[in-house]
Structure 1
Amino acid sequence: MRKTGKPFSPMIFRLVGLFALVAMILSIVGSTENANFTSGLVNTKTQVGLVLYLVAWIGVCGLFILVASRSQSIEDGEHRLLLAVGISLPLILVRLIYSFIYSFGHKAQFNMLTGNVTIQLVMSVLEEIVIVLVCLGIGLTLQVRPSAEYTHQSSVSSRGQDSVELESATLQGQTPKPRQYQRPKRRGGPISRLVMFAVDEINERRR
């Protein structure tokens, strides 16, 4: 969405991510609290986690539709990300259905530990493998974005002020003092600022 300068609010993505994060925490806690592995690690917390996973999946589908409707605003070369999400969503739904059938339907064939191996392979394992391969494959084909170049451009007002100072100093017979160099403001995280600070120090010493 950088072409239009009107991106979606980051709060939408954070909200969907929050549902997925809470679902993951509940699933892990529920699985570790259940000491009976033969029951398939199913309890109230894991069931609530599955419901939240489904809510997060619906949220991702909504975001996918919104972003796809503005696909012309996506930068060139990044449309393949939509393809990765579009392929992954149906596979994730099949994986969720597999978990829902056993967690809420209590079907022994869908037990991850003692259930039917063929069903687990077709509805769980293969989906996870394909999703990982698709995301990795498309991610590796994306071009690396060039790093931002930091250049200092003097404004028209500063140039005019420099010329006025030079003229006044010449008329008074004084040697004009060089204008003190002001470092441009840097944007970015602490690591990038530290790197640019070191670059500025090296440039000043060369002068």
Structure 2
Amino acid sequence: MGTVTYRDGIAILQLIIFPFIVVAALFIWNRTGWKAGSKIWRFAVTLSLIRIAGSISSLLTINNDSYNVEVAVAVCELIGIAPLLLTYVGLLRQIDTQQSLPPRLINGVAIICVIGLILGIAGVSSASDNGTYHPDSIVKASMGIFLAVFVIILLLTYLLFVRVRPTMRVFQKKLFLAIACSCPLLVVRLVYSALGDFTTDSRFTVLVGSPTIYLCMDVLEEIFAMIITMVLAVSAVLEKDFVQPGSIRQPEEGKIEGV
């Protein structure tokens, strides 16, 4: 029987935390409306399921340290950034009830993130050499896309805040706060992945890097960001002034609102 390592303990931590995040995300999704919330909260659910699957795969290596299992762990680790970022793109949709931002712009950011996800999945197999993971140009391109998407999210958050500030509802304030509080954590999380992909520092290498750095710069950052987001989002959807995304429309030019 294999020995439970420090990294296995990290996997156990994720296996404990992320089921609760799934439940919270499903609750918010239900309150938002399954149809209206499908472009928002499915990403938090997807991220949690990926982390659960990755943790299970990691624990399987205790007694079955095969190449295929290690690839599964690497895939789950690398592709989790996409649903993480898409969760915050979704928060902008949740906030923007009056579609102050062009829907095509938000959709475009989501599509770019999905392209990064596809490149990341495609790059994992080609980046594995003799059982050792070495990020290639495809993986680096994927990481570059994710970094660009994060910058765009920050810019859109500021722009949306400026536009809705005069008429901001309580639930919107809480969702803006969720993004603001999560941003420093996301910065550290993305820096960790970027260092692993763009440098040769072995401490940031997927699967074999420093478990302490992995815990502090990746796992805990992601967990705390999602917990903050779930807590504030649950509180937001329970507010009396909460409205579903897109349920409020700007009045057409020349017409009085409500007519």
> TM bucket by the smaller chain?
0.5 to 0.7
**Contact 1:26 1:45 survives alignment (8 Å):** yes
TM-score normalised by L of structure 2? 0.51
Q: 2:166 maps to which residue?
A: 72
CA drift of 1:143 comes to 3.1
Tell me what 2:213 maps to: 119
CA deviation digits over 1:3-47, x for unaligned, max 9?
Answer: xx6722112211221221111111112113434375435111110
- What pairs up with 1:61-140 in 2 under 5 angstroms? 61-70=154-163, 71-140=165-234
Which of the pair has more CA radius of gyration?
A: 1
Looking at structure 1, the residues matched to 228 and 162 of structure 2 have their Cα atoms a distance apart, in angstroms, of 22
Change (3 A) 1:6 1:99: closer
Normalised to the residue count of structure 1, the TM-score between the two structures is: 0.63
Alpha-carbon distance between aligned partners in 2 of 1:125 and 1:112, rounded to the nearest angstrom: 13
Conserved? CA contact 1:38–1:113, under 8 Å? no
Unaligned stretches of 5+ residues in structure 2? 1-95, 248-259
Residue correspondence of structure 1 range 161-200 to structure 2 within 5 A:
none
- Give the letter for the 1:63 counterpart: L
Q: Which one has more relative contact order, counting CA pairs under 8 Å at least 6 apart?
A: 2
Asked if the contact 2:170/2:236 (under 8 Å) is kept, the reply is: no
Which segment is superposed worse, 108-117 or 48-57? 108-117
Unaligned 5+ segments in structure 1 are 149-207
The 2-side partners of 1:146 and 1:77 are apart by 9
User: For the structure 1 residues 119 and 66, does the alpha-carbon distance in structure 2 shift closer, same or farther, using more than 3 Å as the test?
Assistant: same
Moved more, 23-32 or 35-44: 35-44
Pick from 105, 108, 112: which aligns with 1:12?
Answer: 105
When residues 140 and 83 of structure 1 are mapped into structure 2, their CA distance, relative to the original with a 3 A threshold, is: same
Aligned residues: 146
Percent identical: 23
Q: 1:143 corresponds to which letter in structure 2?
A: V
Contact 2:119-2:141 within 8 A present in 1 as well:
yes
What is the aligned partner in structure 1 of residue 149 from structure 2? 56
Name the aligned partner's letter for residue 207 of structure 2.
L
Query: Structure 1 residues 41, 129: closer, same or farther in 2, change over 3 A?
Result: farther
Residue matched to 1:32: 125
Structure 2 Cα separation of the partners of residues 61 and 124 of structure 1: 20
